[in-house]
Amino acid sequence: MKRRHFLGAGAVATLALAKPGFLYALDADNVYRKNIGIQLYTLRNQINADVKATLKAVADAGYRQVEPYGFPNAVPMIQAARDNGMEIHSSHFDWDSVVNPDDKGVRPFSEILDAAKDAGLTHLVVPYLADRNRKNLDDYKLLAERCNKGAEEAKKAGIQLAYHNHAFEFKPMDGGKTGYDVMMAEFSDEMKFEVDVFWVEVGGHNPVDLIGKLKGRVSQLHLKDLNASVKTPNFGSVPNEAFEELGDGVIPMEPIIKAAADAGVTHCHVEQDQSPDPLASIRQSIDYLKTL
């Protein structure tokens, strides 16, 4: 942990002494601390090499649930997680089944829902949008229409559908309106958001404010930190060095966790898209969360 975070911890301790009623979002009985998750894309290279050993290392680090990627092709991850006592509620999945259902060779969403039910999942998340699906505001309106249809179908199966953001959804388009504006306006009550706080920040917005604005509509959060060198907003690519372990970047996690509780968020998952040593990174991030 960097020196400034030790200094920050001291400041928090001083504040707690000054205000006996100060409430820590990550007290020992906090629901997110007790059941903190990890988005397994963080460990994709390690999983490809040895899924069993990697999931054991995740459990040993203290994570209590995992969010796989690539569902329905995620059975080895799910089995290895359960073998190590971790829960699986949510997964990112083959999003074309919802976003581009008429494309040749796309698996019907109904089949993915059946597989998700068999796997015991309660959440599925659209993890990304290809360039062709986000060229203008009409593309986002079509996305909302198709996500709403998928969410209604998923609800009948007992599964919550959500959309995971990056930064490009916050890029101003016609009249300054953004794709995320369209989603917020046109997503139905059945369709939720999985808010990635890193990409919200990169997109030039405050994650706490956004979570508050979406109260009751955010099913899950991705917790990741941003290097101070990154200029925002940035609607293009960011360097690998942009991704920091929790506590080593510029995004305060404590207010985000508090906002999550206020907004009714169900699950929080640590994620770090890039790291030279992902296992060390996820250990550092969970240690940081437990010492807030």
Asked if 224 and 197 touch (Cβ cutoff 8 Å), the reply is yes
Range of the domain at 226: 33-290
Q: What is the pLDDT along the chain (292 residues), one digit of tens a residue?
A: 443 343 344 434 433 343 333 344 456 678 888 899 999 999 999 999 999 999 999 999 999 999 999 999 999 999 999 999 999 999 999 999 999 999 999 999 999 999 999 999 999 999 999 999 999 999 999 999 999 999 999 999 999 999 999 999 999 999 999 999 999 999 999 999 999 999 999 999 999 999 999 999 999 999 999 999 999 999 999 999 999 999 999 999 999 999 999 999 999 999 999 999 999 999 999 999 988 7
Residue 4: per-residue pLDDT: 37
> Do the domain assignments include residue 23?
no
pTM for this entry = 0.91
Enumerate residues 6+ apart whose C-beta is below 8 A from 117.
157, 158, 159
* DSSP 8-class letter at 204: T
Is 8 a member of any domain?
A: no
Give a yes or no: residue 22 inside a domain: no
Measure the CA–CA gap between 199 and 214, rounded to whole angstroms. 16
Which pLDDT score is estimated for 139?
98
Q: Are the beta carbons of 96 and 132 closer than 8 angstroms?
A: no
90 in any annotated domain:
yes
Helix (H, G, I), strand (E, B) or coil at 127: coil
Q: What is the pLDDT of residue 184?
A: 98
| Total domains present in the chain | 1
Q: What is the pLDDT of residue 9?
A: 41
pLDDT for the residue 1: 41
Extract the tokens encoding 225.
């930190």
240 belongs to a structural domain: yes
Domain contains 158: yes
Cis peptide before 101 (omega within 30 of 0): no
pLDDT at position 289 is 92
Asked if the structure places residue 9 within a domain, the reply is: no
Residue 78 CA to residue 55 CA, distance in Å, equals 9
24: in domain: no
pLDDT for residue 291:
83
What is the per-residue pLDDT for 11? 38
Look up the CATH number of the domain holding residue 260: 3.20.20.150
